[in-house]
Amino acid sequence: MHDVRTSPALGKSLLGVLKQGGAFYKHDFGRSHRSRKWMALSTDSQSLRWRSSGDSPPQTDLDVAVPMLLGSPLDRMLQRNFDEAQLQGNSPTPRTKHNYMEAAQLQGGSSSPRMMRLRRPASFSRISTLALKDIVDIEYGMGSETFLQKSTTDRVDEVHMCFSLRTVSGRTFDFAATDEDLLMVWLLGLQHALHLQSFTAATLRLKRLRFKIASTAERTGLSTHGVLLAAVRSAAKQQDVRFDKLKKLKKLQAAWRGGTVRRRFNHAASDLREIRLKIHALKERECYMKRAQEQTARSIQSAIPAEEAPAPPCHQKMGDPMEVERFATAMTIFATRQKRTLEEMSDHVRENREATAAIARIAAERRELLQAFMNSIINNVFSLTGTHAPLTPIKTCTKCNATDLVASSAWTQVV
């Protein structure tokens, strides 16, 4: 796609088309009717000029001061007679007030000078000029106040045929083209002349398509989705008759309506797979910590000796100093052995406590992920069924060897 901003040759050719001129309808603020104008770019590319054109373009350049523009049928008849006499080599009859009256009488019209003056208003020959330096923006569509204040019945032009030129003072000059291709050329040419960077040919065509869809939807009362679906059906009907039309329509409709559903499902399925992998990782980590907890518990239990503390001497032997000394020595040995056992088990005790705390944290995280998993399933199932779209299987992916099924049974596979 060509871009005028990067193609000087294309921009020069567009300016040439603008200088040749084109027919437009001018809309004025506060007036319901429009007026037909012939607009062209000046030879120095510094201003736009337009004047009333009637049903035909002017015969002279708009840069010439006040050229004679034949707009009425009577003027065109006299001009045709003048040209025929000139081709035959005869002396043409000069166009005078008397000749106008004679021609009017021949056509059965009125010959009064007052009626002749009404045929040629003064504004018909007036040339309007707009300097390009005063234009700050080009608005494609009916976005100006002049178009918005018109009622639906007064809008005789389509939205994609209108554009507005906004000046520094805030005033807009609003026009409607008579040809779509001519309008595209004029918008690109004006953008090049004004050194703006608003449109490319692709963006203009996209805007024109959106305007057409919106206009059709407003006129028919359908939604934009319905308009596009009707266009798809119409295109399907115009295809080769050798194929089954009903099957093709169903396929196009399923592809159109199921596109959003498939994108939603794939996004939801990826989220569910990710949550499932996290839950699986937490489950493996929980099993590992439980094994570590059991192992440390067994180590602590096996490290504790099964012996009991020495029994104190009876009341009769408490008076014997040897028995008391023997009991004190046995208690000292027992206490020393217990202290040494506790020092040897400190690492196992710490590991057991850490494993117990880790198991509690993993259980809390797993509960949160399970809750998020169930909420995601409920939300996505209701959002998919709310679209009322046909849920059909999708082809198997050859890269990942996975099948994405747009159906309710797919949720069980994901889970």
Q: Would you list the DSSP string of 252-297?
A: HHHHHHHHHHHHHHHHHHHHHHHHHHHHHHHHHHHHHHHHHHHHHH
End-to-end CA distance of the chain: 47
Is it the case that residue 279 has pLDDT exceeding 70? yes
Instruction: Please report, rounded to a whole number, the percentage of residues in the chain having pLDDT higher than 70.
Output: 65
CATH architecture group of domain 4-72+120-220: Roll (2.30)
pLDDT of 202 reads 86
188 by Cβ neighbours in 10 Å (0-12 / 13-18 / 19+) ranks as: buried
pLDDT of 392 reads 40
Q: Provide the pLDDT confidence category of residue 387 given band limits of 50, 70 and 90.
A: very low
Instruction: Please report, rounded to a whole number, the percentage of residues in the chain having pLDDT higher than 90.
Output: 7
Dist CA 69 CA 169 (whole Å) = 32
Mean pLDDT of all residues in 294-314: 75
Dist CA 255 CA 240 (whole Å) = 19
pLDDT of 100 reads 47
More confident residue, 318 or 123: 318
> Which of 63, 46, 49, 62 has the alpha carbon at shortest distance from 194?
46
Dist CA 56 CA 23 (whole Å) = 9
- The domains of the chain are located at 4-72+120-220, 268-386
- Total-model pTM: 0.43
Residue listed under structure tokens 């002349």: 193
Q: Please list the residues that pair with 131 across neighbouring strands.
A: 47
Contacts of 57 (CB under 8 A, 6+ apart): 21, 23, 38
The DSSP element (H or E) to which 58 belongs, if any, is none
- For 61, the token pair is 């350049």
Q: How many CA atoms lie within 13 A of 22 on its CB side?
A: 21
pLDDT digits (tens, 9 = 90+) for 215-263: 888 888 888 888 888 888 777 666 655 556 667 767 777 776 666 677 7
Helix (H, G, I), strand (E, B) or coil at 331: helix
pLDDT of 85 reads 57
Mean pLDDT of all residues in 352-359: 86
Helix (H, G, I), strand (E, B) or coil at 34: strand
Is it the case that residue 183 has pLDDT exceeding 70? yes
